[in-house]
Structure 1
C-alpha cells in the first residue's frame, strides 16, 4: 500500500493524518512510549501517497534548503517576560507580535489531566502565554494541528522534525505565504514511560500536580503566566539562568524545585540520552544549522553571555520572512555570526546506545523506581563509553 502503514518509530508528527483526504490516519503511543501513526481502516485507503509526501521521516533531506541568513543573541524588552521564559523570551514575543498582526499561534502547553504536552491554537496573547517555557517531552500534535486551514494565517512552533513535515504540507497545499514556522535547537524527546513514572512518584509526595515548569529561573512558588499578565517583576528568588535545568512542580500538598545539578531523576534520564526516540538517534537531520523553519530559537550558551544570568535567546532566521519577523518584535537584538550564536549546541545526532531497549523496558516496569531507572541508564551509558 502506498501509505504509512509500514512506518514505525518515526517522528510522530502526525502531519500524515492532516494530509490524508480520507481522514483514516490517527496517532497513538507505541509500546516504547512514542507517538506513531496508524491507519484506522485500510479498506478506505485510495493509495494517493499524500501521507508519504508530507512525511519528513521518509525523506533524507530537509524540506528547506536554506542556511542561516542572520543570527542574534536576543531578549524581550519586557522584564516579566524575560524573567519567566526559559531563555530570553523571544519565542513569546514572536507569538505576541504575530497574533497582533492577525495570526493564530499554534504552540505547546502541558495538560495536567492527560499528563502530556499538547499542541493547541491560541487566538489571543493571553491564550498564547500558556505555551511559554520548554517542555522536554514529546508533544501530542493533533490537538492543535487539526485547527490548521488554508484561509487563516498561522505561527506554528514545534520540534524540527514536526516543522519539516509541516513545511512539506504547506508547500503541497500551496499556502506557504500564510505561515511562519518556528523550531528550536532540539536535544531529542524521551519516552513517555519515563515522564509518567516520574510524575507518579512526584505525586506520592506532592499530591495531585497543579503546575509544572521545566525551565524555571526563580526559586519558590510563582505563577509564571500571571506574572506576564500583570507585569510582576519580583516574585521568588532569582537563580542563575546558566543552572538551566530547574524543574518547578506544584502539587496540592507541596511545592518543590528539583534541579539537574542536584540529581533530579527526570533530567538525569533525559540528558543521559539513553531513552530518546529511535528517530532521534538514527534519522535526525536537523542539528545545528539544518532547519526547515523560518526562525529557530534556543539558549545562547557559550562565552558571549557567560556572565549574563537573566537569559539570552539564540535566534536564527533561515528565510526572509523569518528575518522580517525578528526585526519587528519587542526584543533587544544583537547580531553575531551563526557559529557564535550556536556555540554549545549539538552539531550531530546522538549515537544510538546499545542497551536502549533495556532502559525502555525498565521505564515501562511498574516495579522499578526512578532511582533504579537512573542507575540502569548510567550502567548502559558506561558500557557504551567502554565499547566506543
Structure 2
C-alpha cells in the first residue's frame, strides 16, 4: 500500500499536535468516552452481555491465547488487504456487524454508520431492528456494499417480504441470525429497566412492511411492538425454515450464530452460502465457547467450501490477523463502531474504521505478509 508509512506518520503527528483535539485511539478509550456520554440504559445495552458476562470476557481472552510469530526479510512493500466475497471485491476483510436500534447511541443511528461505512468501502450488515428502514439506509449508501440481517419471524410471510425488499434495495446477501430463538438473560438491562425494543426504537423495517402492517388492526407503536414481540422469538426455528428462505431470494444466505462444527457441516450440506461464527458478542448464552476458540474446528469441517466469517471480540488489527490465520475469510466488528457512533457520530465510526484498517495493514506487514491471502496458521503459536 504505497504511502501507508507516510500516512501513519501523518496520523501520528495529527494525534500528538497539541492544537488538534484528537479523538480516542484505542477501543478502550472509545468505550470510556461513550460511558461518560450515554445514559446507563443505552450504554449498558451496547456494552453488556448476558448472565455473569463470562462469554463477553472470554471472547477477548481467546485472542490472547494466540501469538503471532512474525517472518522477516520478505519484502512486504506491495501489500493489499483486499478480498473477494460472493463475487464482490472488498477493500478489506472487515465488515460492520448487524447492530440494531443504533439511534440509542446517536440520533442519526444507522444513517451515520452507513455514510462512514460507504466512505471506507466497508460492507455494513443492516439489522432487521434498525431505527431507519433498509431502503433509507440503502439510499444513503449508494452503490457501496451492504448485507441485510434477518431476525426470523414466526410469521414466515413477513420474512419473505423483508428479504424481497432487501433484494430490491440492492443488498447483496442475507444474514439469518439463528441464536436468538429466545432473549438472552441480560442482567444489566434488568437492573436498568431498559428495553429499546419495547420503546419502539427498532420498528422502522416493520412499520414500513406491507405484510407486517396487514397483521395490525391499527398501525401504531404499541401495536407494532406487541406484534414484533409475538413473532421475533422462535424456538421452533430449524433447517427447513432456511429452505423456505431460499425459495424467496436469489441472494447468498449466511447463517450467523454457528459455534459447533457439526452445525457447520449441516450448513454446508443444506446449501447455506456462508457461516458467521458468532456468540452474539456474549449477549445470548453466557458460558458459551468463545468464537475464536470455536473457529479452527469449524474451518476444518467447512474446508473452504463456503466462506467462514467471525465476529465477537475483534478489537485490533492483530485480532483480525489471528482470526484469518485460523481460518476466517473475514471478520465483523460491533461494539467498537457503536462506541465511535456514540462519541462522535459518523466521524466516530469513520475514525474507528480508519484506525482498525491502518492497524491491520501494519499487522499484516509486520507479520511478514503481503496480503490477507498469505495469512495462515504457520504464523501463529498457541500460548
TM-score range with shorter-chain normalisation? under 0.3
In terms of fraction of residues, the more helix-rich structure is: 2
Higher strand share: 1
